[in-house]
Amino acid sequence: MGRIYEPSKEWDKREQILENIDQGIDRYFESLKELFKTASKAEDEAAFKYAMDRAKDLTKKSEQLITDLKKYTGEKQETSILDFLYGLFDGLTAMSRGDLEAAKIQVEFMSNNIENDLKEKDT
C-alpha cells in the first residue's frame, strides 16, 4: 500500500507558520507604535527624524515577515505594503520640516490607531 496523504498535518504546519508570522507582525506594530509615540513627543525636527529613521530600520528588519505573510496567504497587491510604509515615514519626515507640530499630531494619531487595532485583535 502507498503512502497515505495526511492533509491535517500539512494544514497544522501551515497554521503554525501563519501564527508565528502573525505574532511577529504584532510585535512589529507594537514597536512601531512606540516609535510613533516617541516621535509625537519630539522636541525638534532632528529627534522626529531619528524616530522615523528607526521606524524605517525596524521595517527593514521585518520585511521577511511581511513577505512570508503574503506568500502564505496568497495575497497579491499592486502596491507593496513596504513601499507604502517607507513612503509614509518619508512623508512624515518631510512634513516635520515644514510643520513639526502637524507631523507630531499625525504620528500620535497613528500610534493610537495601532494601539486600538491591537487591542481589538486581542478581543
pLDDT tens track for 36-90: 999 999 999 999 999 999 999 999 998 888 777 777 777 666 567 788 889 999 9
* C-alpha span between 87 and 66 (Å, rounded): 16
**pTM, to two decimals:** 0.79
- Please give the pLDDT value at position 106: 95
Which DSSP letter does residue 44 get? S
Averaged confidence pLDDT in the chain: 86
- For the chain, the domains span 7-122
Please list the alpha-helical segments (H only) found in the chain. Answer: 7-40, 45-73, 81-98, 100-122
pLDDT, position 2: 53
Cβ atoms < 10 Å from Cβ of 75: 9
- pLDDT at position 20 is 85
